[in-house]
Chains A and B, each alone.
Chain A
Amino acid sequence: MEGMIMAHESDLNLKATELRLGLPGTDECEEMVSAAKNNKRASPESVEECGSKGTCAAKSSEHETAPAPKAQIVGWPPVRSYRKNNLQPKKTESESGIYVKVSMDGAPYLRKIDLKVYNGYPELLKALETMFKLTIGEYSEREGYKGSEYAPAYEDKDGDLMLVGDVPWDMFMSSCKRLRIMKGSEARGLGGAL
């Protein structure tokens, strides 16, 4: 403990001679601090840089198990903030919904729903039932939606027609490109293992 406190408050020379409890990973940051200080005047005037490096030194001695965090130097590396900001993905994308078309055999026009609104299959199926005024019934792995008048199917990324409910909800959300409500009789071929 004492070693770490000394690392906090001492300057370059003491660090070189003291016994520290820090793990090997903490050395890099300290070296950077000392190397920087060689180029710096004695007075702690360079607020930003000394400050950040000081923090770095403190952090590295406190979090022994974590690798030394990089001390961020103002304006280095010389990448314009315009460029740095533009590398981030646009926030709105993660907030926008996943809209897919829903068609029903025999219906005059299609609908669109936002998959993100639902927490799982039961909610989705309920919503489809309400939207198209029909019953879909219960899903079983073995027999699909056997006995229902309608069965929900979807087109995945590869363009294949799949039965709704076989894969985990999250996987479904990311692979579903459009939904199709098929007549029960047609759908029987999709149920169970093909």
Chain B
Amino acid sequence: MAYSFPEEVLEHVFSFLTSDKDRNAVCLVCKSWYEIERWCRRRIFVGNCYAVSPEIVIRRFPEVRAVEIKGKPHFADFNLVPEGWGAYVYPWVAAMSAAYPLLEEIKLKRMVVTDESLELISKSFKNFKVLVLSSCEGFTTDGLASIAANCRNLRELDLRESEVEDLSGHWLSHFPDNYTSLVSLNISCLGSEVSFSALERLVARSPNLRTLRLNRAVPLEKLPNLLRRAPQLVELGTGAYSAEIRSDTYSNLAEAFSACKQLKGLSGFWDVVPSYLPAMLHVCSGITSLNLSYATIQSPDLVQLVTQCRNLQRLWVLDYIEDSGLEALAASCKDLQELRVFPSDPFGAVPNVSLTEQGLVSVSEGCPKLQSVLYFCRQMSNAALVAIARNRPKLIRFRLCILEPRVPDYLTLEPLDTGFGAIVENCKELRRLSLSGLLTDRVFKYIGTHAKKLEMLSIAFAGDSDLGLHHVLSGCESLRKLEIRDCPFGDKALLANAAKLETMRSLWMSSCSVSYGACKLLGQKLPRLNVEVIDERGPPDSRPESCPVERLYVYRTVSGRRVDMPGFVWTMDEDASLRFS
């Protein structure tokens, strides 16, 4: 049995396994399979940069070509993680530069990336091809210049939603004249102008360019110059979509667009001047992905554009679309899979648009393939949620954000427990859920009972007691990430379900009622977890043990306590009591 196939054959067989889950399963079969597999694993995904150290990864997988690492917890997006918390990529890059000279891909999310790291990347990996920095920060355009100058085989440079310090727009000119392998460029997050002539020349010498996402500073008048040089584009992000209204600008634009026969994705659209929208008319029928979440256009221009895109699969849009627009969307776009509606005026006290629960209900009725929803609105009812759940039992992601916390069903004034209960009960494949509105412990009972495939749950301003948290931790079998803010959840549920935390990637709790004492206990009992208290008020032991901590971040790890913690993060472990006394 053990001598069935030679190594090379097994390696070849394993090369067809692309999912990490499958590869991890293979490793558990027997020692020789473990050995063979680890030498041929080429892609690594690290969901939490502190769950494992670079050294451990390198030791186990010596021949990696692509690395994906995630850093800060999701709530960092909403300023709940203080500056300087961590997630530095440098130690990873330093270790990999020695161990993986053939590394081709680095994808990072919510990590701190310095110019130093970028320079090291550009000089260490001769065959470097793909750099994706998603929601990262800490670097400047100088770092980008190093990448441009040194990565001769670069295919993809994607800076999506990162915070970049703009020192100069000339970094783009650092791509050598004989560099022609660009396939994807996303600079949409850059605040200031890049050298347009450099951009133009770069596009002109990139015959394989498929994705080009420009930043706001690229004027509309100049867009045709780029499109004409890249009619093979599949994804385009425009710059500001506004210009003086002139017929020659318009006709140039329309002509340039009509030459782009392969366009499937559009984004950008800052500062839209509606008169220029019809210039895109001819490409609409091919569009499957449309991101209008920065476009401050309203009906009828907005609706006209969206309904022209009959093959739309993904739509991100502002709430200017209103219920009427969503109804039109539901009637026109039968292939819609993902809808995200963002608030145009998140802090306004009164509604500025006519967008209610009805819009989402219409889409759930009309779009049979809908599986992913992110919806910001101001009112919701149980009836609407029940309707949505019944219409779309195949939902995978459902994130609802009612702008005001703790708002009840506006029709009955009851909590929205029943509505969300219907969602988890009907949508048996649900993997991600975000709750909002007035919710009692009952909704958590429903979730614990039904949401068996749920992997990520976000809770805010909800629940009555520890029982709520207990339902979730004891019932949700597939739970990997749990993030909670401003809920009356405390010690009891956490300690009673401590072992559950070792089966999850991470737990975040902020502004809840978890005491310092409970955190210490958790840290002492479960050595394979890092229990970290984030508290800007000073050392937790300067306050009574019963005092709740500001923020708690618990995650499983095989590399022990962090060694790079800032002054406001404390690890609770066996030595905690010794260290503090």
Residues of A within 8 A of B (CB): 32, 35-36, 38-41, 43, 45-47, 49, 67, 69-70, 72-84, 86-87, 89-90, 93, 157, 177
Contact = CB atoms under 8 A, between A and B. Distances in A.
B347 A82 contact: no
Interface string B61-80: 00000000000000101111
A90 B406 contact: no
Interface residues of B, number: 40
B270 A81 contact: no
A82 B461 CA distance: 24
B349 A79 contact: no
A125 to B, nearest CB: 23
A86 B77 contact: no
27 contacts: A32-B406, A39-B486, A43-B547, A45-B547, A45-B550, A69-B349, A70-B347, A70-B349, A75-B79, A76-B405, A77-B343, A77-B376, A78-B78, A78-B401, A78-B460, A80-B77, A80-B78, A80-B161, A81-B79, A82-B163, A82-B189, A84-B346, A86-B216, A87-B294, A87-B296, A90-B216, A93-B271
Contact of A89 (B245, B271, B293, B405): B271
Contact of B548 (A45, A75, A76, A87): A45
B160 to A, nearest CB: 10
B96 to A, nearest CB: 28
B325 to A, nearest CB: 18
Contact of A82 (B161, B344, B486, B511): B161
Contacts of A157: 245
B513 interface: yes
B220 to A, nearest CB: 13
B537 interface: yes
Given A39-B486, A41-B548, A86-B294, A75 B80 contact: yes
Nearest to A89: B271
Contact of A77 (B293, B318, B346, B349): B346
B403 interface: yes
A120 to B, nearest CB: 23
Given A35-B406, A39-B487, A45-B550, A87 B513 contact: no
Question: Most chain-A CB neighbours within 10 Å: which of B163, B294, B342, B513?
Answer: B342
Contacts of B511: 40, 46, 49
Given A76-B78, A77-B401, 9 more contacts: A35-B406, A41-B547, A45-B550, A75-B78, A76-B405, A79-B343, A80-B77, A84-B346, A90-B271
B177 to A, nearest CB: 32
Query: Which among B75, B77, B511 has the greatest number of chain A C-beta atoms within 10 A?
Result: B511
